[in-house]
Amino acid sequence: MKLLYCSLAAVLVLPLALAGAAADFDFFFHVQQVTVDPIIVTLYPPVACIITQRVRWLVASVQWPGSYCDTRADRCCYPGNQKPAADFTIHGLWPNYADCRRGLLTPDAATRCWPDYCNATDPLNTSLIKDLESDLLRNWGTLSCRNRNATAFWSHQWRRHGTCSGMDQHAYFRAALDFKARFNLTRILADAGVAPSRNETYLLSSIEDAVTKATGSAPSVECNRNGRDEMELYQVFQCVGRDGRSPVHCPRRLESRCTDKVKFPAF
């Protein structure tokens, strides 16, 4: 099955590669740091089928605690029974492939937009990020009742996404914290007149515009539906370069589910 798929992929890719379209199509892949020209890849389908698509950008995702607790009240528990600050918290920093619709060469990349669980022998070792712990507890906490210890959350994010980032454990968590600190979305929105409120409704476009203006890159916003069937701003996704530092233009839109007008509930 895999051989059939790969041969088919090679036949499809060959004309494009020969037409010199490679540079425009992002058909660059790598085997252990070695960038392989798409023509070579095309001529060796078996090789093409064992190589992986390259991570091109990361998604920095944060979530709004007010919306998490509003729509998942039964699943909202304050850590140590102390209500956290009314501030966005980090969900994760997620490596993404260049473009999943163009991942023709491997069955895996054809259906996936991102890699995950890249290194099973590199579990989170909290002593490597000890110096970041208080910063992490403040900015990368969890309100999940099932997962009350934030260490389990960080461990999951590291194993699933961090191991694919090319960064070591300390650099990965540091990058996520730095990015969030550099672009304080709570403040960016407040400065644009989008303040958490029980009763106000905001235009989704005013939220997107505020973030675009402050960071130079358009975000994707994901919404939740609360118990009154209203849309609430839940998560904000920003595209970041592979260094985990600079905002980049998003190669594709991410999940949204928002309507034109959304709530930004007080927390």
Ligand X SMILES: *[C@@H]1O[C@H](CO)[C@@H](O)[C@H](O)[C@H]1NC(C)=O
DSSP 8-state secondary structure symbol assigned to residue 126: G
**Do 238 and 247 touch, CB atoms closer than 8 A?**
yes
The least CB distance from residue 215 to ligand X, in Å, is: 14
**C-beta closer to ligand X: residue 36 or 150:** 150
Report the Cα 200 to chain-centroid distance in Å: 28
Positions that interact with ligand X (CB under 6 A): 87, 119, 121-122, 125, 127-128, 139, 149-151, 181, 184, 186-187, 190, 197-199
The least CB distance from residue 133 to ligand X, in Å, is: 7
Which single residue brings its beta carbon nearest to ligand X?
A: 122
User: Checking phi first, is residue 30 left (phi over 0); if not, alpha (psi -120 to 50) or beta?
Assistant: beta
Q: Structure tokens of 177?
A: 């914290």
**C-beta closer to ligand X: residue 201 or 256:** 201
The least CB distance from residue 150 to ligand X, in Å, is: 5
The least CB distance from residue 121 to ligand X, in Å, is: 5
**C-beta closer to ligand X: residue 79 or 251:** 79
In the block, residue with structure tokens 């959350």 = 153
Distances (CA, A) of 182 to 42, 122, 170, 215, 237: 42, 29, 18, 9, 15
**C-beta closer to ligand X: residue 37 or 168:** 168
**C-beta closer to ligand X: residue 13 or 136:** 136
The least CB distance from residue 137 to ligand X, in Å, is: 6
Q: Would you list the DSSP string of 188-203?
A: HHHHTT----SS--EE
Q: What are phi and psi of 73, to 5 degrees?
A: -55, -40
The least CB distance from residue 169 to ligand X, in Å, is: 9
The least CB distance from residue 103 to ligand X, in Å, is: 20
Integer Cα distance of 94 and 239 in angstroms: 9
**C-beta closer to ligand X: residue 11 or 128:** 128
- Is residue 7 helix, strand or coil? helix
Integer Cα distance of 159 and 95 in angstroms: 12
Integer Cα distance of 78 and 208 in angstroms: 29
**C-beta closer to ligand X: residue 82 or 127:** 127
